[in-house]
Structures are given as C-alpha cells and as structure tokens.
Amino acid sequence: SHRMKERLAYHLNEQRQRIEYLKKHYGQFKVSEVTLDQIFNGIRGVTLLITDTSYVDPHQGIRIRDFTIPELLRVLPKAPDSAFPLAGGLYYLLMTGEVPDEAEAWEVEATWKERMTVPEHVFRVIDAMPRETHPMTLLSQAILALQTESIFAKRYEEGISKPAFWGYYLEDSLNLTAKLPVLAAYIYNRKYRHGAYIPPHPDLDWSANFAYMIERSDDPIFVELMRLYFVLHSDHEGGNVTAYSANVVSSSLADIYFTASAGINGLAGPLHGLANQECTRWLLKVLHHFGGLPSEEQLEDYVREQLDKGMTIPGYGHAVLRTVDPRFTALANLAETYFPQDQLYRLVKRVYAVVPRVLSSLGKVKNPWPNVDAISGALLYHFGLRQLDFYTVLFGISRMLGVTAQTVWSRGLYKPLERPKSITSQMLEAMIAQA
Ligand code: NMX
Ligand code: MLT
C-alpha cells in the first residue's frame, strides 16, 4: 500500500521531530510517580507508555486515533453493501492517523489480497498438533511458523540501520495481517469441520473473507458482525497485556512474527482475551442451571453464591475502564437490531441488569460494568459459531491490526530496548527504613 507507507513516513518524521523537541526541552518533566501499592497492584494507574494509535478514556472508553467507537463507525469507508467499515480502512487509520478515503482503504485491502498466500509449512505445523489443542495455541504457533518469512530479520542480518527498520516492520506487518483471516479459518476448519483448506475469495474484503473461508458468508448479518467485531477488537492503547507483551518483545528488535506471537500468548489468559470464551461458557451454565432464562432475583442469588465461592464473573470489570465498555454497547446495538429475542442475548441483558449492582455491593471492585467480553461470544453463538474456545482467535486476529501498527510506530520513533529496573523485597524494606 504505497499511499499508506508514504503518509506513515510523513507522520513518523513529524512525530520524531516533536519527540526530539520534547526530550530536549522537557526531559526532566515528571509524568508519573509510583507508589508501593501500585507496584504490588500490577502497575495499575501508572502512566509509563506513550502509544499514539489509541487511548482508553476511563469514562468514555476506547478512542482509536481520537475517534470514539460511534465516530469510527461513521467516518471510516464502508465495505460494499455494508453498514460497517472495511478493515483495510481501519488499518490505514491506525497506521497513519488519517481517515482514509475509499481508494486508500481499498488499496490496503488490495495489498492484503496480494499477500494472503500462506506457506505450506505453516499449515503443516497446525496439522501436526493434536486435535484437542487450544485454537489460541495453534494461532500463536502458526504466526511463529511464519517467522521464516520475516524480511526485517533477513535485512537486519545483512546490516541495516535504525531509519530503515520501520519500513521492513511495515512490510512484515502487511504480510502477516494479510494472512490472519486465512490462518484463523484454517484453524477453524481443521479443528471443527471437514479440515479442507478453503482459499480466500479474490473479490471479498478482509473481514468478509474470513466468513467466506469458514463457509458462512451466505448470512449477510454474520458478515456484518465480523466486520464490526474486527473493528471493535483492534486496539486498546498500549498497556493491555497483549500490546504490552508485544511492545516489550519487539523492543529487542525481535521481528513482527515473534512480536505478534507474544501478544497472542498474552491474550490467551482468562483475565484478558479468553474472558469471551469463559463468559459464554458461564452464560450457558446459567441457562442450563435454571433450565432457561432466570429472573433477576434468581440471577442475583446465583451470582452472589459464585462470588462467595471466590469466583470471578467473566466479562465484568476492567483495569482502566470505569464505565460500560462502548464495544459492549456497539455489539448490543447489533443484537438489538437483528435478534432482540435471542435467549442468550436476553440473558446477557439480564446479567447486565444484575451484576453491576452486585459487584458494586462488594465495595472492592473498581469497575462493576461489562467489558466487550460480556457479550461478544453470545453474538457468535447466535450465528451458530458454537466452538467457544475459538472466540479468542477472532479477538486475536483483530488485535494484531493494532499491535502491528503500534510496533511499526515504535520502530519508526526509534524507541529503545524496554527494560525497567527491579529490586528485591528486602531492598524495598531497606528503602522504607532509610526514608
Ligand atoms: N468478578 C469478581 N471479582 C472481581 C471482578 C469480577 N468480574 N472484577 C474485579 N474483581 C475483584 C478482583 O478480583 C479484586 O479482588 P481481590 O482484591 O479480592 O483480589 C478486586 O475486585 C479489585 O479488582 P479491580 O481493581 O477492580 O480489578 P483489576 O484491575 O485488578 O482487574 C480484571 C481487572 C479485568 C482482571 C478483573 O475485573 C476481572 O478479573 N474481570 C473478569 C475477567 C474479564 O472480564 N476480563 C476481560 C477484560 C477485558 N479484556 O478483554 O481483556
Ligand atoms: C483489551 O481490549 O485489551 C481489554 O479490554 C483489556 C485492557 O485494555 O486492559
């Protein structure tokens, strides 16, 4: 995508100058202080990263390149006959910070189409694993197997200098992201279906192609859900476990394949991306327990019992958000439009009516509101995508759009190796004694 690269080069250059200026004039400006509590609480609330692709406002939710979700859905060029954006346009925005016109969005889509072919050995890696392997393991392995293709790694070995890095990271990123729907579909078909490889359709956009490759593109609303889903999950600033892991790994100049695989591994945890699988499992358990939709009173008792046993309610709470996740709202709007009577969706709404109140009453939960994972699985389930362990793969391929954009920016801004300092508990006690 020539245009995207050209605009990216322009913005990186401008941003480098701004950062040089800031470093020169405000090098000692204090951004954050860290307390002992924060160190023992997952560095929560300590601002120590600068990420330009997006920002999570605690009270408004995600802003991708400063656009809220409703704004984003409005400004990005739409896929054909669709209410939702082309993933190619979203990628252009993440990379450059500029809203693309249709031609620019389609140029990214066209670049992806040219690069979708997955080398045979990557499929063989997936094939070699036992059938019961978790799809997130397969996705991470497939991405890692693609590392053989890294242009950056080859050029680095030959000898290149810093200003050249980001361009090769961009090439690798385009090559990787082009293949992600193919990898996800291959994993799906191999694990749950007939196992045959279905090549991408040359006329379809990135998101619709995934639906096509798992033979679900005949349902236009499912295709719409995929387009929305891939936009919503793409980026969540720099500190979420996926982006944070990826950032650290790429700061060692590990190429985009090592970087993305590391991010996927972080996403696979139940407190993070796996929560969509866990939440759907939990919702189904509730339906099974009550033999249908429980009343609010029944549900409240059930939730309190779970909490008394020390269990987590998946899909609720957040490290940064202090409000309902706008990604939850966007998905609820789609369900409300097309299938308000769906039983699982009705349960999602009932849980939403009960759980925030119950969690608030505990007095310790900082955010009692639903996050994206409280609903995303229920929508996939509605369309018959009922292999819950696959859900995080969809989160993952979308999130790699944000992670690769963040990585290209990090290399383009010449960010150094990331390496914070650690001390022992004993040293901490000594510091306190001496204070
Ligand atoms: N159910 C039960 N307890 C909770 C929940 C919940 N959903 N959320 C927070 N708490 C508890 C938490 O375990 C902690 O208890 P304790 O002090 O006894 O250890 C207390 O409330 C304070 O935690 P917070 O400061 O509110 O939350 P924190 O920032 O540490 O963690 C999450 C954020 C997202 C890890 C946490 O809310 C959680 O485990 N939620 C459920 C899992 C989930 O939905 N994850 C997906 C997040 C979005 N994503 O896609 O990544
Ligand atoms: C995400 O989308 O990454 C999650 O909401 C978790 C986070 O932001 O910490």
- pLDDT at 1 (0 to 100): 72
Question: Judging by beta carbons within 10 Å of its beta carbon (0-12, 13-18, 19+), is residue 4 exposed, middle or buried?
Answer: buried
Q: Is 327 in the pocket of ligand 2 (CB under 6 A)?
A: no
Contacts of residue 192, defined as CB under 8 A and 6 or more positions apart, other chains included, come to 387, 390
pLDDT, averaged in runs of 10, over the chain (435 residues): 95 98 98 97 96 98 98 97 97 98 98 98 97 97 98 98 98 98 98 91 97 96 98 98 98 98 98 97 98 98 97 97 98 98 98 98 97 98 98 98 98 98 98 97
Q: In this structure, what are the phi and psi dihedrals at residue 173, rounded to the nearest 5 degrees?
A: -65, -40
Give 159 Cα–ligand 2 centroid separation in angstroms.
37
- pLDDT at 195 (0 to 100): 84
Count the neighbouring beta carbons within 10 Å of the beta carbon of residue 229.
Answer: 26
Q: What is the rounded CA–CA span in Å between residue 131 and residue 243? A: 29
Cβ < 6 A, ligand 1 pocket: 44, 271-273, 275, 307, 312-319, 364-367, 371-373
Q: Give the tokens for residue 270.
A: 């139940």
272 is catalytic: yes
Q: Atom 9 (ligand 2): residue with closest C-alpha?
A: 240
Count the neighbouring beta carbons within 10 Å of the beta carbon of residue 301.
Answer: 14
Q: Which amino acid is at 56?
A: V
Max Cα distance, the chain (Å): 70
63 strand-pairing partners: 55
Q: Is 371 in the pocket of ligand 2 (CB under 6 A)?
A: yes
- pLDDT at 196 (0 to 100): 82
Q: What pLDDT digit, counting tens, does each position of 236-287 carry?
A: 999 999 999 999 999 999 999 999 999 999 999 999 999 999 999 999 999 9
318 is catalytic: yes
Which domains, from first to last, does the chain contain?
A: 1-270+389-435 (1.10.580.10), 275-382 (1.10.230.10)
Contacts of residue 127, defined as CB under 8 A and 6 or more positions apart, other chains included, come to 190
- pLDDT at 320 (0 to 100): 98
Angle at 213 between CA 408 and CA 229, to 5 degrees: 55
